[in-house]
Copies of this chain bind each other. A is one copy, B any other.
Amino acid sequence: MFLYLIEHVNRMTANLNPCLSVDCVVFGFDGNELKVLLINRDPSTGCEQSGKLKLPGDLIIRSEMLTIAAQRILSEFTGLHDIYLKQFGIFDDPQRLNSRNDLEWLENRSDLKIERVVTVAYYSLVKIDKSVQTDLSIAYNACWYSCSSIPLLIFDHNNIIDKGLDALRRELLTEPLCFELLPEKFTLNQLQRLYETILGCELDNRNFRKKIQRLPYIVPLYERQNGVNHKPAQLHVFDNNKYASLKKDHTVFIL
């Protein structure tokens, strides 16, 4: 896998845009914590806290559209595809590549004289289940880090994650993003825990349930959780068609 990756990257370098990159903040929820996916800038090295950790990202190819670049980069560096992807910001501080060590790495990797790179940032949303976790760590040396304890990353990637989290918080209030992070069938407890984790606050249990029960696109099933230690809770699904038809009438407020 890594040899393939390195060869692939070598084929690409002649063709990279020296001014523009894309970086992806991949958010995942494991039922308890909101996490971010990090890789090592040297893909053959693991993602322990090495001082070389970064977001999946790269210079774009000269003739490439930004969203296509984001999809390609996610797929190349993490194997993830067909996931929610949203452009949320442009990072244009002329000093953002100031670390000499990081800049040298980028110049070696790209075989380009780099003067200034403006990066366009996307966030992605992923349900963390066991299969995703195994694929990412074995095939791509990528690791999930809790949003509350991100190590020091290269360039301005810590700042990009902060701004991505701000954007996710804002958009969570008006878009049904949380269902991208939850399993297909979820309990109201899981939904509440997800909102609380992302918004960074505690929500009143009774009020939350009352509000959710008024939303016709969160549909209770005649089905309960399996294999849990506590009393199994009722499962729900998100009905995207109902949501879309309500959204047309501008009557949707998630919380």
Binding site for B on A (CB under 8 A): 17-20, 62-66, 87, 90, 92-94, 115-116, 118, 120
Chain B neighbourhood of A17, CB < 8 A = 19, 116
Chain B: which residue is nearest A66 at the CB level? B92
Q: How near does chain B come to A69, taking the closest CB pair, in angstroms? A: 9
B63 near A90 with CB under 8 A, answer: no
Chain B: which residue is nearest A95 at the CB level? B63
Q: How near does chain B come to A66, taking the closest CB pair, in angstroms? A: 5
Instruction: Say which residue of B65, B87, B93 sits within 8 Å of A65 (CB atoms).
Output: B93
Instruction: Say which residue of B62, B65, B66, B118 sits within 8 Å of A115 (CB atoms).
Output: B62
B116 near A63 with CB under 8 A, answer: yes
Task: Tell which of A18, A63, A66, A118 has the most Cβ of chain B within 10 Å.
Answer: A118
Chain B: which residue is nearest A92 at the CB level? B66
Chain B: which residue is nearest A174 at the CB level? B174
Q: How near does chain B come to A88, taking the closest CB pair, in angstroms? A: 11
A17–B90 Cα distance when bound, in Å, is 16
A62–B87 Cα distance when bound, in Å, is 24
Chain B neighbourhood of A90, CB < 8 A = 66, 87, 90, 120
Chain B neighbourhood of A18, CB < 8 A = 19
Known: A87-B90, A90-B87. A118 touches B20 (CB 8 A): yes
Q: How near does chain B come to A56, taking the closest CB pair, in angstroms? A: 19
Known: A20-B20, A90-B87. A116 touches B62 (CB 8 A): yes
Chain B: which residue is nearest A61 at the CB level? B94
Q: How near does chain B come to A122, taking the closest CB pair, in angstroms? A: 11
> Could you list 15 further interchain pairs (A-B, Cβ under 8 angstroms) beyond the known A19-B20, A87-B90?
A17-B19, A17-B116, A18-B19, A19-B19, A20-B20, A62-B116, A63-B94, A63-B116, A65-B92, A65-B94, A66-B90, A66-B92, A66-B118, A90-B90, A90-B120
Q: How near does chain B come to A202, taking the closest CB pair, in angstroms? A: 17
Q: What are the 6 closest A-B residue pairs judged by CB atoms, nearest first? A: A19-B19, A63-B94, A66-B92, A65-B92, A19-B20, A20-B118
Q: How near does chain B come to A167, taking the closest CB pair, in angstroms? A: 13
